[in-house]
Structures are given as C-alpha cells and as structure tokens.
Structure 1
Amino acid sequence: MITTREDNQKSLTATYKKEVESTKNTLDTPYVKVNPYETSPLSALVIFHTDDAVKVTYTVVGKTKNTSISNSVKGYSKTRQIPVVGLYSGANTVKITTTDKNGKKATKSLSVKTTTSLPKYIKDSKPTIKNTNKSKMVIGKNKLTLLVRSTKESFAVDGDGVVRWYSTLWNQHLMENIHNGHFLFLTKNKQSDMMYNDLLETDYLGRVYKEYSFGTKTTTNETGAAKAETTIIHHDITELPNHNLLVTVNDGSKKYVEDTVVEISHKTGKVVRVLNLKNILPAAMYKEYKSKKRADGKLDWFHNNAVDYVKKDHSILLSSRHQDLMMKINWKTQQIKWIYSGKKKSTWPKAYRKYLLTPTKGTAVTGGQHGLYQLSQSKSGNIENVLIFDNNIAVTNGDKKTSGKYSQGVQFKINQKKKTITQTWAYGKTLGKQNFSYIIDYTQKLGTDNYLMDYGFVDGGNKSNIVEVDQNKQIFNLTVSNPASKAYVYRAYRVAVYPSNYTFSVYK
C-alpha cells in the first residue's frame, strides 16, 4: 500500500477541519465547497454549526418527478459536515432541514453551482432513455444508475438519463462497495499510463482513504522495444468478512493470463492466499486450449470475469468466459463444490464428474457469461440462488444452436446435494440480435421483482444498453454511445449515493 493520493489530499482535509472548528459557519451562512477533493465535480461539502443539537435531512432538488436525491444524517449534533452528491451540471437547489430534540425545525435553501462542462467522453456518450416508468423503478431516495466503464470516466445518471455524478479519474471495470460505505475504484497513476494498476478506497466526494499500487512492469517485444505489462487486476473484486480483498488477477505467468484469484490483506496490501485455476481443473483445459494467442503471446484459457464470496460455506463463485463455465470452490480448502458447463459429462475426467450440475428441462446452457454472484442460500446450505448475465456466445462449451442470437440475464436455483440446476427467471431472448452482447455485461437484482441488465457491447460495441425490468416488462431503457475505444459500459449498477453505512467526517 502507498499513501500518495492520501498525502496529496491532506491539505484539503486540513482546510475543512478549520471550517468545522469555526463557529462562523451557520445554517444561514454555511461553508460550501463544490468538488471538495477535486475529482468529483458534481459533489459538494457543506459545513455549519447550530446553537442546539439537531438532526439533519437534505435534498438536491430534482428537475422532474422522482429525480430528487435526499439523505438523512444520523444522530443529533451542533456541528455538521454534509456530503452532497447528485448535483446537476450547472445550477442546483439544495434544501436543508434541521430538527432539534423538541421537534423545532429550521430550513435553508442553498443555491449551488457546479461546472457546466462535462468531460468529452461523458458528453459524447449522449445518454438517452425510453420506456421509462420512474414510479416503478427501484430508485429509493438517493439511487442512481452507475455506469462503470472499461476505460475513460465512469458516471451515474438519474431516471431521466441526466448525469448526476462522475469522477475525473479514469476507471477500468472495478467500482465495488465495501463495509464502511466507501468503494473500491481501479484507476491509473496518470492518464497517459497504459495500465490500470492503482486501486483506491474512496467515496463519492473523491476522498481517498487507502491506496494499493500494483506496480508497472515493463517487458520488451521481439524487436527489443519496450512494451507495458498487462494490467494486473482485471475483472472483479470483492471484500471478505475480515475486510481483506478477493481479486481476479494476472499473476505474471509467461504463458497464461486471467486464471488466478488472490486474497490481499487490507492492513498490509500483501497477498496472503493464492488460487491458481490450473491447479484445480483438468490440465487438458489449458494445455489443449484452442485459441489464438493474445497480442502479448499469452493464452487466456479460463478468462475469469467474476468472483463472489459466499459467507455461509466459506466458498467463492467464479465465472469462466472461455470455458463457458461457472463453478463454486471452498476458499479455505480449494476443493470444488460444483461445476456447471455445457461440456459433456463423458469428456470430463472421472474424478470431476461428481461435481457436475445437471440442468433440468428448459435450463439454459450459458456461454461466455459474466458477473456470477449468489442471491441467497437456504438454512441447510443445499439450495442456493445465483444470478448471471448470459452473453450466449459459445466460446468452447456453450450452446451452439442459440449462440449469437440473443443475450439475457438469468437466475438459477442450484441443489448442491442433488447436483441439479434450474432456471427460474430470464430476460433478453425476446430482444433478439439487436441486444446480443458479445463481451462484458452484468445483471443486478433490485428488490423482489426488478432486475437491471447491462448490455454493454451492442451494435458491435458502438453502444451500451441498460434495461430495468419489472419481471419481464421494461420500465427503464437507457442507451449510451461508446465514444472511444473500449469505453463500453462494463457493468451497470443501481447504487445509493449515500450508503446507509457511510458517514463523512474530516476526523476519520
């Protein structure tokens, strides 16, 4: 771990501490700083004092129905440090209400002006919506649709498709919430770098709390010219109960990539456990893998694009795009618990056949799928429900009959004891080829009946289409252009910009 970005922000935090400690900032004349940490232009920090201890609620007033963004600050206090997220580009009204212990209220309406110029790669994305019913969308009081891109700036939009948050730091693939309301964010040391090897623990104001740097190795090609090593962290990351990080990585192998998972200590930044998929699966899978080598000459035989930790049985879920395979492994023992793949049972070595799931009638065989994670698990542990985005591209073992005809979000019920898998929900088949997405993508379950799907690579990668459905009826359809090479929407999440476990304080 390093502290470069934290150190760079210390003077800013010191300034805000002085404002917190000054009694001149009142509700009538608060201190307001737009873009307080200089990477989040549509955010602000508001500081004020009151004579009596009060609790606070505040709202960024929306321009249309169901676009206001509200938050409540926990507890009573005479001093308030309010993180304001979800501002519009340009003019804003922020309404603040304080309530003392006797129920007496006071209000203040602030005019807050942010930059009127969005970055080129966000402006050129031209978000457009259709089929939208905001009253049925799962947006709560402060949720936005976060578009995490494969490169350039990630950003978030409201139910009107209007940009309400972005970071000026370029981001690749990873924006993942953690236990304290912060999130993990993969970026670069500087924009001119080829690799995304800086992992930040940050918040929507742009404050950096921790930074991990994974180095910048350089190799040479056959002519002796220097070329950069591939990005070490690639597709996914999750936090373990002990707050260590579980990460999909390239491990520096001279021949293979994207087939390793590591656990990183949140205290030291060091790797404390390694899972190499070549030690788990049959050797023929990687030794006999038929595919063109990448530009760097390496074989991407597994292409692990998801990792999810299951606390109940200390296991992890993995998704292999290039084997059209999903699997569950005990993280402590590294023993396989189950495998789902279109690869015929008879072609597996006998030692593996006991792990294979048998699909019930009507259950899709996935191809090139992404974003596997668990929704729930029964008390006994035998039954679990998982969700994926099925790209439906038969890379090696997918369904060749349907491959390339459509892509879909799919929910499965798995009986670990009987080794069966049953499809319980799917959406996307009726959209056909126009929403076929060859790579990337994600499905998120929102509440009981709603699902959000990111078709990130439609129209040959020129566009990304994000769809929310209530069971199978569209209630939100957002299309963004991909204005630069690889600036696709890798994943779309519906997120609370004020997580319930988040409190901002200059003293933390």
Structure 2
Amino acid sequence: ETDYLGRVYKQYHISNKTKSTENVKATAKSENKQETTVIHHDVIELPNHNLLATVSDGSKYVEDTIVELSHKTGKVVKVLDMKRILPKNMWKKYDSSTRTDGKVDWLHNNALYYDKTDKSLVISSRHQDLVMKMDYKTGNIKWLFSGKKTTDWPKAYQPFVLKAAKGTTITGGQHAAYLLSDHDGNTNTKDLLLYDNNYAVTNGDKKTSGKYSQAVQYTINEKHMTIRQNWTYGKHLGKDNFTDRIGNSQRLNNGNHLIDFGYLNAKNGTGSNVIEVAGDKQVFNLHVDNIPDKGYVYRAYRQPLFPSNYTFDLD
C-alpha cells in the first residue's frame, strides 16, 4: 500500500510456502520464465478492508484461484477455487498446448469486482470469454455471460446463462469487467462495463475476432436473466486499435469514458492508445509509442491529485 509519492505503508508477501485456512497453497513456484508471479492480474479492497487477489494455487492449473488476505495479519482467510465452481470439462479438457511449461491456464481470471449491494463477486475469464457473477460467501453462481450456447452448458448451469438481446456484442478475451453505480433506481438491473479485446479464445465471436477492440456497456436484468448492449466505442477504429490482450475502460464522474487500448502492434505490444470520449466524440487522445519490453499501458485511469474536500492553505 503506497501513496502517490511512493511511500510504502503496508506490504504483503506471499510465497510458495504460504498455506490457506483450507490447507491449499495460495501460491505457485515458477518452473520457467512463463509463470513468474503468484498474484497476477488484480487485487481489490473489500468493505472489511481485506484484500482480494487473483492467484495461482500451486497446482498445474494456473490463474484460477481467488484468495482473501487479512489486512491486519496478511494471512489467507478465504479461498475460492474456480475448479470447484465451474463445470469440470472446462478445465479437465482445456487445450493447454499454447504453454511450454505444462501448466493449464484454462480460466485466466483477469478482473475482480465486489458488488456491495448483494455481497457478490464479478470476475472476467479471458480464456473462456466469460464474465460471471457469484455469491461471494457461498460461491453459488448468479449469472453467466459468454458466447457459449445455453445448451452447451451442463443442465445445472443453464438457468444462470443470460439471454442476450439482438445486437448485443459477445465478448472475446475481455478485460476489466465491473459494475457501475445504480443510476435508475431499478434494483433488478445492473450496468456492466468492460473492455472487449474481441479476441476469440474459446467462446468468442470468431467472425469478428481480430478486426477491432472496443469498450462496451451492458444492462443486465437479474430478474429476467437478460443482457442488452447500450453503448460501445472502438469498432470504427478497426485493426489499428485491435489489442489481443490488455485493456481497460473507466466510466468517469462526468459521464465520459476513458478507454485504454493497451497492447497495440500485437506481435510485440510496442504501443498504447488512451482515448477519452463523451458519447462518441473524442475529447482526449494519448499515444504512447516505442514502448520497451512490458512497458505497455495495462490499465489507464483518471485520478484526482487531491481529494474533493481538500482545502488549500493560501496563507
């Protein structure tokens, strides 16, 4: 935990010797350069101030476990193993030939969002082209959104598959999925914002995959189990702004969106483009070019330099 000046206030260390309360390893020892971190894509703060992190669990299956860390002791107090929540054939039969270390990256969870209104968790699985919501305490699924046909899910999962309205974009390899604050007072609906890389890994739209990337906003009716797309930006930019990995979209307080096309030039990711839009109109455009190795813009956010209630002493 740091401030903007880089001062470190708290530090949490997880090694491959750390064990959770369920006697499950919370970390993994790297076997080669391909798997160099244990905590990988995301860490968020829960209402109780504990930290929720995406991790690898020490098995041959990577990036499919979530742990809650006590902010007081640094110990793991809860483990969510997605292999116990999603269908077994997803991870048992996943093609891991793309990796050279023998690990199976079937889920590749790259985002966490905690919904305080119903104590649930939204995650984004890049390798299943899946966004899902589940009860944080029990792990019970609330809804599933992907290009996978309802009939291809086991029967027990089918009631939770959202029905997409006509014209709704099916995501591929998406990132940064989170829910927006309620704006219409309808307790049945949630607004979901994400960055759609549009790179079909398993269940994405193969017809459009690789042609563009975009930010997308949806409205989900959790009572009727439907999802409807209501805003997008990026499709018209075409292949120039296509990113097969990395990216972010932030809804700003003024209603604008800040979009990070973070990994341009797919072979090496040597460019990033951050655009702010008001509706469909660009109001800010930043190109970062000739990026050195792994210097790309993973996520971009607009942050105030000072709290809104900060008072300057002019004396």
The equivalent residue for 1:465 is: 273
**Pairing partner for 2:110 from 259, 280, 305:** 305
Q: How many Å apart are 1:227 and its aligned residue?
A: 7.1
The one-letter code matched in structure 1 to 2:284 is F
Structure 2 counterparts to residues 403-414 of structure 1, below 5 A: 403-414=209-220
The equivalent residue for 1:3 is: none
User: Equivalent pairs: percent with the same residue?
Assistant: 59
The equivalent residue for 2:73 is: 268
- Quick one: distance in 2 between partners of 1:227 and 1:362? 41
Quick check: 1:484 aligned with 2:297? no
Q: How many Å apart are 1:341 and its aligned residue?
A: 0.7
- Quick one: distance in 2 between partners of 1:481 and 1:264? 37
Q: CA separation of 1:500/1:297 partners in 2, compared to 1, >3 Å: closer, same or farther?
A: farther
**SS across alignment from 1:285:** helix
Structure 2 counterparts to residues 1-12 of structure 1, below 5 A: none
Quick check: 1:251 aligned with 2:57? yes
Structure 2 counterparts to residues 25-36 of structure 1, below 5 A: none
Q: How many Å apart are 1:205 and its aligned residue?
A: 1.7
**SS across alignment from 2:9:** strand
Structure 2 counterparts to residues 28-427 of structure 1, below 5 A: 201-215=1-15, 230-253=36-59, 255-377=60-182, 381-427=187-233
Q: What is the total number of aligned residue pairs between the two structures?
A: 298
Q: What TM-score do you get using the length of structure 2 for normalisation?
A: 0.90
Structure 1, unmatched stretches of 5+, are 1-200, 504-508
Q: CA separation of 1:486/1:216 partners in 2, compared to 1, >3 Å: closer, same or farther?
A: farther
- Quick one: distance in 2 between partners of 1:291 and 1:297? 7
Partner deviation per Cα, 1:152-203 (whole Å, 9 max, x = no partner): xxxxxxxxxxxxxxxxxxxxxxxxxxxxxxxxxxxxxxxxxxxxxxxxx110
Asked if the contact 2:257–2:276 (Cα under 8 Å) also holds between the matched residues in 1, the reply is: yes
**SS across alignment from 1:431:** helix
Asked if the contact 1:464–1:482 (Cα under 8 Å) also holds between the matched residues in 2, the reply is: no
The one-letter code matched in structure 2 to 1:213 is H
- Quick one: distance in 1 between partners of 2:241 and 2:33? 36
Asked if the contact 1:407–1:435 (Cα under 8 Å) also holds between the matched residues in 2, the reply is: yes
Q: How many Å apart are 1:208 and its aligned residue?
A: 1.2
Asked if the contact 1:376–1:386 (Cα under 8 Å) also holds between the matched residues in 2, the reply is: no
**Pairing partner for 1:437 from 229, 239, 243:** 243
The one-letter code matched in structure 2 to 1:387 is L
Asked if the contact 2:34–2:101 (Cα under 8 Å) also holds between the matched residues in 1, the reply is: no
Asked if the contact 2:248–2:261 (Cα under 8 Å) also holds between the matched residues in 1, the reply is: yes
**SS across alignment from 2:212:** coil
Q: CA separation of 1:482/1:456 partners in 2, compared to 1, >3 Å: closer, same or farther?
A: farther
Does 427-436 or 440-449 show the bigger shift? 440-449
Q: How many Å apart are 1:213 and its aligned residue?
A: 1.3
Q: How many Å apart are 1:280 and its aligned residue?
A: 0.4
Report runs of 4+ in structure 1 exceeding 6 Å deviation: 226-229
The one-letter code matched in structure 2 to 1:474 is Q
Q: CA separation of 1:202/1:441 partners in 2, compared to 1, >3 Å: closer, same or farther?
A: same
Partner deviation per Cα, 1:268-317 (whole Å, 9 max, x = no partner): 00011111110000000001112325233201000000000000000010
Q: CA separation of 1:251/1:502 partners in 2, compared to 1, >3 Å: closer, same or farther?
A: farther
Asked if the contact 1:293–1:300 (Cα under 8 Å) also holds between the matched residues in 2, the reply is: no
- Quick one: distance in 1 between partners of 2:309 and 2:84? 38
Structure 2, unmatched stretches of 5+, are 18-27
- Quick one: distance in 2 between partners of 1:472 and 1:350? 41
Partner deviation per Cα, 1:420-465 (whole Å, 9 max, x = no partner): 0000110001000100011010000112431000001112211000
**SS across alignment from 2:239:** helix
**Pairing partner for 2:258 from 445, 452, 475:** 452
**SS across alignment from 1:210:** coil
- Quick one: distance in 2 between partners of 1:220 and 1:476? 40
The one-letter code matched in structure 1 to 2:216 is V
Q: What TM-score do you get using the length of structure 1 for normalisation?
A: 0.56
Asked if the contact 1:412–1:423 (Cα under 8 Å) also holds between the matched residues in 2, the reply is: yes
Which has the larger share of strand? 1
- Quick one: distance in 2 between partners of 1:319 and 1:220? 24
Q: How many Å apart are 1:376 and its aligned residue?
A: 2.4
**SS across alignment from 1:208:** coil
The one-letter code matched in structure 2 to 1:454 is D
Q: How many Å apart are 1:381 and its aligned residue?
A: 3.2
- Quick one: distance in 2 between partners of 1:216 and 1:284? 27
- Quick one: distance in 1 between partners of 2:207 and 2:6? 47
- Quick one: distance in 2 between partners of 1:484 and 1:308? 30
The equivalent residue for 1:34 is: none
